[in-house]
Amino acid sequence: MFAYGEDSDENPNKCLLVSYVPKRNKDVLLLSTLHDDSKINDDTGDAFKPEVITDYNLTRGGVDVVDKMKSEYSTARFSNRWPYTVFCGLLNISTINSQIIYRENTKNIITRRQFISELSKLLVMPHLYRRSQIPGLPYLLSQKIRNITGERPTPNRDQATQAKVRCEFCPLRKNRVFFSSRGFQNETSEEETFSSEILDEEFSMFR
């Protein structure tokens, strides 16, 4: 069975889909952008193999090598969703192609395991940087992320809190306490200085 893709100026999609059944309960599907007809190879005799099948068998050496490399370090997991399977297949092939390009550009020959490990770290690093800047992130988790990225921790007031100190302006019956933060030298604006002077005047009666 043959299926042809529409090939036009508006929709350039020249391709040929072949469904070949060599024996019962075994179906072979091939998609080709090279062939555009339903020719049968006469040399195959009663098998009636299309030329797409015979051409593929002649040049399948590279395909077998790629399939072997994909199976060694595969990102695919068992799933009944075909888009997920296609995506994992493209991801596996992209790692192979990227290592070939890297080797040709840098002349640095490393194992595929090392290359995939470094590639995954570089791809994840921007997301780690962004996640480490989330204000509500737990402290231990942010520390683990910074250990991976090598980023210096930025101190905040929650981390620099030392102890609870009693408010010197409130009377004893209220007994209010607050957290005092040390290790910060923030510049005080004129508005803050002015407001602090007003508070000193208002609470001077309690002293």
The per-residue pLDDT for 116 is: 92
**pTM for the full model?**
0.50
Taking only the tens of pLDDT, the chain with its 207 residues reads 666 666 666 666 678 888 888 788 888 888 877 777 777 777 776 667 888 788 888 877 777 888 888 888 888 888 889 899 999 999 999 999 999 999 999 988 899 999 999 999 889 999 988 888 888 888 888 888 888 888 776 655 454 455 666 666 666 666 655 555 444 444 434 444 444 444 455 445 444
Residues contacting 14, CB < 8 A, separation 6+: 5, 7, 33, 36
Burial 163-179 (b: 16+ CB within 10 A, else e): eeeeeeeeeeeeeeeee
Whether 180 contacts 161, CB under 8 Å: yes
User: What pLDDT was estimated at residue 95?
Assistant: 92
What was the pLDDT predicted at 193?
41
Q: DSSP secondary structure string, the chain?
A: -EEE--B-SSSB---EEEEEEEETTEEEEEEESS--S--B-GGGGGG--BHHHHHHHHT-HHHHHHHHHHHHS------S-HHHHHHHHHHHHHHHHHHHHHHHHH-----HHHHHHHHHHHHHHHHHHHHHT-TTS-HHHHHHHHHHHTPPPPP-TTTTEEEEEE-SSS-TTT--EEEEE-S--PPPPHHHHHHHHHHHHHGGGG-
pLDDT at 64: 80
Residues 132 and 135: their CA atoms lie apart, in Å, by 8
Query: What φ, ψ does residue 205 adopt, rounded to 5°?
Result: -70, -25
Which amino acid, residue 74?
Answer: S
pLDDT at 138: 86
